[in-house]
Amino acid sequence: MECINGLRDEIRDCLHEECGVFGVYNNNDELDVSRLTYYGLYSIQHRGQESCGIAVEDEDVIRCYKQMGLVCDVFNEERLASLKGQVAIGHVRYSTAGASNVLNAQPITVNYRDGMMALAHNGNLVNSEELRYKMGSGGSVFVAGNDTEIIVKILSKNLVSEATIEDAVKQTMRVLKGSYAIVLLLQGKLIGFRDPLGIRPLCLGKLKHSYILSSESCAFSVMGAELIRDVNPGEIVIIDDDGTRSVQTPTPGHSAYCIFEHVYFARPDSYIDGASVYRARENAGRMLAKEYPVDADLVIGAPDSALTAAIGYARESGIPYGHGLMRNRYVGRTFIQPTQEMRDAAVHMKFSALRNEIEGKRLVLVDDSIVRGTTTRVVVQMLKEAGAKEVHMRISSPPVMFPCHYGIDTATASQLIASRLSVEEICQMVGADSLRYLSLESLLKAPGIDGGFCSACFSGNYMVKNNE
């Protein structure tokens, strides 16, 4: 179920992507890099809505502006005009590690021995405490509470001790454990690197002679750029006047792409690790229909994130697809926080049932996930009050039972309803006539690619642990 933005953590009922990164290197194309970064961040705004920032390098000087708020609120013509240069990076953030304030907004800029650098990170380190302790014992001072500051400090040190930028980045990657997709602005170069398992996405695009890095390829179409390829797990891509150069660091030989990018987080018009997100969702819906058919009159999806899976379910089952729920697109960051007792009101503000379409019908309601179940319960009740005869819930992923340690803000294990209740109990709690989840085996096949996936939030099988 799509997030109701702006709700306090204790009543929020969704998974949250933590961040998105973007970078552009202008290679003699007379591009306005800050404006392109603005457009890029706008396109990946769904990956983080709390703060955003853009850093631009021009003749060894890095200028950065970052603030709490949406990209469209933080940047205007004047701000973008003050950020002129040849290379830019940008970031959108939703906080989990580190407080929600501008100190933790990114990109982070620092002075190191030979100049300035700016860095933006999507992901989460599982050994951040250990690294912070080690660096702190060596005299490093931390002002923000996030992992990115740790990465920047380690990199600054390695830039002094190592002979080349590549070696400094490699050395840094050697000690980081967890997930990271990073864009770095350093010595006039745009550099991107991705953790050895490729948990968080990062891709490379081209616009005329210039190159772009982005968390998602959906950012390329707005500027007429083309997707070249994904940055490989463990790869460092260095972009400068000579074009792109790649350095491959050691990997375990298998990937652990986040399967939830395909289920929910990424935009359906993105391609991630060679797979169309739209197609993956449609396939998941088709597989769900094969695994759990039901006699019904209409298939509807939970807007907007589950609509594609619902289309897949309808196509496979032959049951007509229609709209049964509308989403209020204007419920966002400015939403006045409802009290605990009034959280149902937040769901009613966000969703409403289309009585004409559903009255007297047996519905299949397809959703991508159930986190706490509180939103689902209100939505099922809403559909029944609007005249639905039956509501059969079909979920296009397995039960979310474990928290994510790799950059997604899940609830704690005890708040995840599937870690406490059986499927039958959840069905009763949400008031549905039946409830079925897609099997993990099918979900992992849905993107249609060979790569290995992380599925720890479903299976509890964490591929990177701090003690490894």
Active site members = 19
CB of 179 to ligand SF4, least distance (A): 6
Q: Which is nearer to ligand SF4, 68 or 440 (CB)?
A: 440
Kindly tell me which residue out of 173, 289, 416, 454 binds ligand SF4, with binding defined by CB under 6 A.
Answer: 454
The reply on whether position 14 binds ligand SF4 by CB under 6 A is no
CB of 152 to ligand SF4, least distance (A): 23
Which residues, 250 to 269, sit near ligand SF4 by CB under 6 A?
258-260
* Closest residue to ligand SF4 in the complex (CB): 404
Kindly tell me which residue out of 158, 406, 416, 449 binds ligand SF4, with binding defined by CB under 6 A.
Answer: 406
* Count, residues near ligand SF4 per rule CB under 6 A: 11
How many CB atoms within 10 Å of residue 249? 19
The reply on whether position 278 binds ligand SF4 by CB under 6 A is no
DSSP per residue, 133-163: HHHHHTT----S-SHHHHHHHHHHHHHHHSS
Cβ 24 vs Cβ 214: under 8 Å: no
Q: Which is nearer to ligand SF4, 85 or 198 (CB)?
A: 198
Which residues, 46 to 105, sit near ligand SF4 by CB under 6 A?
none
The reply on whether position 125 binds ligand SF4 by CB under 6 A is no
CB of 6 to ligand SF4, least distance (A): 22
CB of 85 to ligand SF4, least distance (A): 34
301: region left, alpha or beta (phi > 0 left; psi from -120 to 50 alpha): beta
Cα separation, 138 vs 145, whole angstroms: 18
The reply on whether position 456 binds ligand SF4 by CB under 6 A is yes
Binding part of the chain for ligand SF4, among 133-141, 361-369, 444-452, 454-462 by CB under 6 A, reads 454-462
In the three-class reduction of DSSP (H, G, I as helix; E, B as strand; rest coil), residue 273 is classed as coil
Q: Which is nearer to ligand SF4, 172 or 179 (CB)?
A: 179
What the block records as the tokens of 135 is: 């660096």
Name all contacts of 294-297 with Cβ < 8 Å and 24+ positions apart: 294/364, 294/392, 294/394, 294/434, 295/362, 296/361, 296/362, 296/363, 296/364, 296/390, 296/392, 297/361, 297/362, 297/363
Q: Which is nearer to ligand SF4, 270 or 455 (CB)?
A: 455
In the block, tokens 């969702």 appear at 281
CB of 455 to ligand SF4, least distance (A): 5
Binding part of the chain for ligand SF4, among 92-100, 414-422, 435-443, 451-459 by CB under 6 A, reads 451-459
Q: Which is nearer to ligand SF4, 42 or 406 (CB)?
A: 406
State the sign of the Cα–Cα–Cα–Cα dihedral 396, 397, 401, 402.
negative
CB of 263 to ligand SF4, least distance (A): 8
| Pairing mode of beta strands 115-125, 178-186 | antiparallel
CB of 124 to ligand SF4, least distance (A): 9
Which residues, 145 to 204, sit near ligand SF4 by CB under 6 A?
199
Write the CB contacts of 200 (distance below 8 Å, at least 6 apart in sequence): 122, 123, 179, 180, 181, 194, 215, 258, 406, 407
Closest-CA residue to 246 (of 227, 262, 233): 233
Which residues, 385 to 404, sit near ligand SF4 by CB under 6 A?
404
Can you give the three-state secondary structure of 92-107, one letter per residue?
EECCCCCCCCHHHCCC
Q: Which is nearer to ligand SF4, 159 or 199 (CB)?
A: 199
How many CB atoms within 10 Å of residue 185? 26
How many CB atoms within 10 Å of residue 65? 18
State the sign of the Cα–Cα–Cα–Cα dihedral 30, 35, 38, 44.
negative
Q: Which is nearer to ligand SF4, 17 or 149 (CB)?
A: 17
Kindly tell me which residue out of 89, 296, 455, 464 binds ligand SF4, with binding defined by CB under 6 A.
Answer: 455
Cβ 386 vs Cβ 359: under 8 Å: yes
**Contact residues: ligand SF4, CB under 6 A:** 199, 258-260, 404, 406, 408, 454-457
